[in-house]
Amino acid sequence: MLLMRSTISSPPTLITSLHRLSPLSKKSLSPSLSFPTSPRPTSLHTSPTMNFLSRLIPGSKPPTQAYPSDPSSSIALKPDEDIPGPGQQFAQFGAGCFWGVELAFQRVPGVSKTEVGYTQGVVHNPSYNDVCEGTTKHSEVVRVQYDPNECSFGNLLDVFWSRHDPTTPNRSGNDVGTQYRSGIYYYTPEQEKEALESMERQQKLLNRKIVTEILPAKMFYRAEEYHQQYLAKGGRLGLRQSAEKGCNDPIRCYG
């Protein structure tokens, strides 16, 4: 994501951060349509820059400044209590920025619904800005609803492994932070078993240790509406990317 030009005087910390943007981020400094244009934060700690940026994201709310000792952690760490549609099952995957990951799963035949959100954290009902502060321990995930008669959990695992590098802790490409960690969050013992076996097979193909966490699915907090199906709706440039089943078009992760 990128910064919009503004007549507001930027604080020194913001100017400094602009000079440190990666080539990809610098490339993104172009006008936006109706989509959020702030860069995906990389800081793991609260900072004046992050608080300033949070005011530039449409539909966002200020960080709650919640910490691991917050009493709401008992709610956030409960199992996901949502119920999938009749004959459907849930699965959750964290593989970096959830925009591109969601589009990949949208294209899978047998997947009936996808949602992006936050999970595995210690704060109840976090906002995007809360998660980006790096104190809530949430992961950006895609919750996939699928028909097991049309799409196996194994098929979803194949998509998961293909979408990211599972050997980089708390990082996916240019996105750095605990919210971008690799994770498979299961709903049944069968999913857990299959995920572990799949990771063993994947490890034999790689020369670095896989850092993917495999944990029970916890409370799923649906992300802000502008994040949902972000790339299929056009992303930052308004250029829609196909979510048609079976589509193999390359995915532009930021639009």
Residue 58 has pLDDT above 60, yes or no: no
Query: Under a CB-based contact definition with an 8 Å cutoff, are residues 49 and 21 in contact?
Result: no
What are the pLDDT digits (tens) for 143-175?
Answer: 999 999 999 999 999 999 999 999 999 999 889
In this prediction, residues 169-194 reach a mean pLDDT of: 96
* Cα 226 from Cα 56, distance rounded (Å): 14
| pTM reported for the whole predicted model | 0.74
247 is catalytic: no
H-type alpha helices, the chain: 12-19, 23-27, 48-54, 73-76, 98-106, 128-132, 153-162, 189-203
Query: Under a CB-based contact definition with an 8 Å cutoff, are residues 219 and 177 in contact?
Result: no
What are the pLDDT digits (tens) for 15-25?
Answer: 333 333 333 33
